[in-house]
Amino acid sequence: MAEALGAIGSVFFDPYLILLIFLTTILGVVIGVLPGLGATTGAALLLPFTLTMQPVHAIAVLATIYVAATFAGSITAILINTPGTSAAAATTFDGFPLAQRGEAGRALGVAVVSSTMGGVFSIIVLCIAAPLLARVAYEFRPPEYFALTLFGLSMLASISSGGAVKNLIGGVFGVWLATIGAEKSTSIERFMFGNYELYEGLSFVPVMIGLFALSELLMQSRNAHLVVNHIGMKAVKLPSKEDYKRIWKTILRSCGIGTFIGILPAEGATVASMIGYSEARRWSKNKKEFGKGAIEGIAGAEAANNAATGGAMVPTMVLGIPGSGTTAIILVGLMVHGLRPGPYLFTEQVDTVYQIFGAMLLANLMFMFMGLYAAKGFARISLVPTTLLWPIVFSLSIIGAYALNSSMLDVWIAVIFGILGFFARRHGFAVAPIAVGLILGEMVEINLQNSLKMFDGAWWMILTQPLAALFLILAFLGLCGPYIFRKIMSRNES
């Protein structure tokens, strides 16, 4: 514990890292304020530029973008009724009505305090839960990892609002993408079509840039001439004592909800904010105020979505299972820098892990002050014309894709996946399941191969391993449970 505290504390005495986190926090808030960008797009854009950094600095930058952009989405959600990120969608329900009543500063104050408490709470849980889970993960062998990865893939059914079937189709497509290249043990070429630049498979970085950044650019191009209603404000005010009395229970409840949902593989801040909001309404004594400017609604949504950021890092770092679209990119960052996610990360590189946690904690404290003292200025960033913004995003995307290997093939991969992601979104498919499927696909294949070697090809022996059987049962229930439940309910009604 002393070693962990020392590593976290070292972040606060590293001037270069503090400056890096400060600048990245500003950038994260700017990205979160700009409608249409968000944490995932921002992380995808910055990923190539972190490749020359030290591992701790690189992951700290990506994690800081994650927490800062998640909070900043609430600024535009309150002031212009347009969530800067999908995780802030629930904040619009009560934030904008409160702003229309002339209480924009109060609404933002509640959002800032709730977000900070949610983020700090989840990082404390992360510091405690991740090492404990890592000890359990020491018992994992290839059969357990294979079953765990299948469980993670089964959770894709609920990763977004696209629908379970479409999400699973996207996940399967991502797993297929992971098979492109030479098979590791036999060197058999798969889906390379004579292009030996694909021998090592698809590079994660250009795929992520295409799926998240370029596809978002194409989606937002349809809203280029959209005019929003901007609410002015004088200053951001801290909640009053009366406000704290009304929201403290809501914040604590949402902190727990957000952290738990973030830990679940393939869930994320968007789901957490919606559940946090609905539970705030359920337990409130003032249900009639919801939708008209209830501060409990803002607190419930904002505490939950920021708590989910720390929670989502638990499966990402301990098990190598992304907890959200943004952590999928952070996972890629870990892998690119040679940091293998899993229990060994917590024994071989303890200082690195806790410095990342410390960076997230510092980022939460920084955006609290920015939210209180600079929210008014950040809100004006949302007025940047899209005709200026999106060419910049496109240029950064192309530069980032090319910079990884100085290869034009990576640029074409980014463009192709940008177009693919655009058409997928147009037809109701989410892109996050494709990204998660691509990352987990290699894990599924390698662990299945190793399991078959362990049991001399007797695949059914995987079912005799208690932990593996448990994860497979959970995967089955996650996929078929709702259907079975509906069948049982329909029979009982008839």
Q: Lowest-confidence range among 98-102, 298-302, 444-448, 469-473?
A: 98-102
- Pick from 284, 282, 257: which is nearest to 271 by CA? 257
SS3 state at 161: coil
Q: Lowest-confidence range among 126-130, 318-322, 334-338, 386-390?
A: 386-390
For β-strands 189-190 and 181-182, DSSP reports them as antiparallel
Phi-psi domain of 278 (left: phi exceeds 0; alpha: psi -120 through 50; beta: other):
alpha
Query: Does pTM top 0.95 for this prediction?
Result: no
What residues contact 352, with CB distance under 8 A and at least 6 apart?
55, 56, 59, 339, 345
pLDDT of 22 > 80? The answer is: yes
Query: Residue 279 has what pLDDT?
Result: 82
SS3 state at 457: coil
Contact criterion met (CB below 8 Å) for 191 and 179: yes
Beta bridge partners of 181: 190
- Pick from 204, 165, 160, 159: which is nearest to 181 by CA? 204
408 or 34, greater pLDDT: 408
Query: Residue 417 has what pLDDT?
Result: 92
Contact criterion met (CB below 8 Å) for 290 and 93: yes
Query: Residue 242 has what pLDDT?
Result: 83
pLDDT of 161 > 60? The answer is: no
Kindly report the average pLDDT of the chain as a whole number. Answer: 79
Q: Lowest-confidence range among 93-97, 199-203, 222-226, 315-319?
A: 222-226
Query: Residue 419 has what pLDDT?
Result: 92
In sequence order, what E strands does 47-195 have? Answer: 181-182, 189-190
Instruction: Read off the DSSP letter of residue 214.
Output: I
pLDDT of 122 > 80? The answer is: yes
146 or 136, greater pLDDT: 146
Query: Residue 420 has what pLDDT?
Result: 92
The ranges assigned to domains in the chain are 2-493
- Pick from 148, 74, 165, 92: which is nearest to 469 by CA? 148
What residues contact 174, with CB distance under 8 A and at least 6 apart?
433, 434, 435, 436, 437, 438, 439, 440, 441
Q: What is the pLDDT of residues 282-297, one digit of tens each?
A: 877 777 777 777 888 8
In sequence order, what E strands does 322-475 have? Answer: none
Query: Residue 226 has what pLDDT?
Result: 53
Confidence band, pLDDT 50/70/90 cuts, at residue 301 = confident
CA 6 to CA 28: how far, in whole Å? 27
